[in-house]
Amino acid sequence: MASRNFLFFAVLIAICSVVLASDSSPLQDFCVADPNGPVLVNGHACKDPKLVQANDFFFSGLHLPGNTSNAVGSRVTPATVAQIPGLNTLGISLVRVDYAPWGINPPHTHPRATEILTVIEGTLEVGFVTSNPENRLITKKLVKGDVFVFPVGLVHFQRNVGYTNAVAIAALSSQNPGVITVANAVFGSTPAIPNDLLAKSFQVDIKTIDWIQSKF
């Protein structure tokens, strides 16, 4: 009997873990986000269904190239719940990523979403790193039409390895996947992480850390 009870609770925990691993499932046809709603909830409060219009489910702009004139040579154009209120509670969003020649989408994570990316134009080198202790790099070169998956929470990146612009479209398994760019978080936090702590973590001198922090 004890073993049966243990098995039951083990299965129950496993099911709950899967259910809680992504955005909550909707309990109605839709819950269009009301960013000005007075109630604080995990996500957004629902707009009155009687006031919902087609534009709540619409976004125009992913056909437009992003401006890649920046330090990393890439630009992400999001279509998340912030741009499409109708995505609220639906557990999905979309982004367009533009890359200048040899531009990068630097190492980052999405704390709330798995990402599936497809190359529209160009050639990309992509990859992700598994968690400790292996920290294994899994990488592949992609061309037009190829698809690659980045598991939720893992550090990943893309780089345009061609001499022309590249474009990718990615879907994410959250209305609000979030993004943590590793370099920005570590070296550009507010307030700053103590430089002696970072020096010890990266096994370099404090002057090197100060120089890197000055870039962010």
**Which residues are known binding-site members?**
105, 108, 110, 115, 156
d(CA 97, CA 139): 18
Annotated binding site for oxalate: 105, 110, 115
Annotated binding site for Mn(2+): 108, 110, 115, 156
d(CA 101, CA 123): 10
Q: Do 216 and 188 contact (CB within 8 A), yes or no? A: yes
Neighbouring residues of 122: CB distance < 8 A, sequence distance ≥ 6: 99, 143, 144, 160, 162, 164, 165, 166, 167
Q: Describe the strand order of the beta sheet including 93-99 as a list of residue ranges.
A: 74-79, 93-99, 166-172, 115-121, 147-150
d(CA 104, CA 157): 7
Q: Which secondary structure element, helix H or strand E, spans residue 5, and what is its range?
A: helix 2-19
Neighbouring residues of 25: CB distance < 8 A, sequence distance ≥ 6: 89, 91
What is the amino acid identity at position 41? V
Helices (H) and strands (E) in the chain, counts: 4, 10
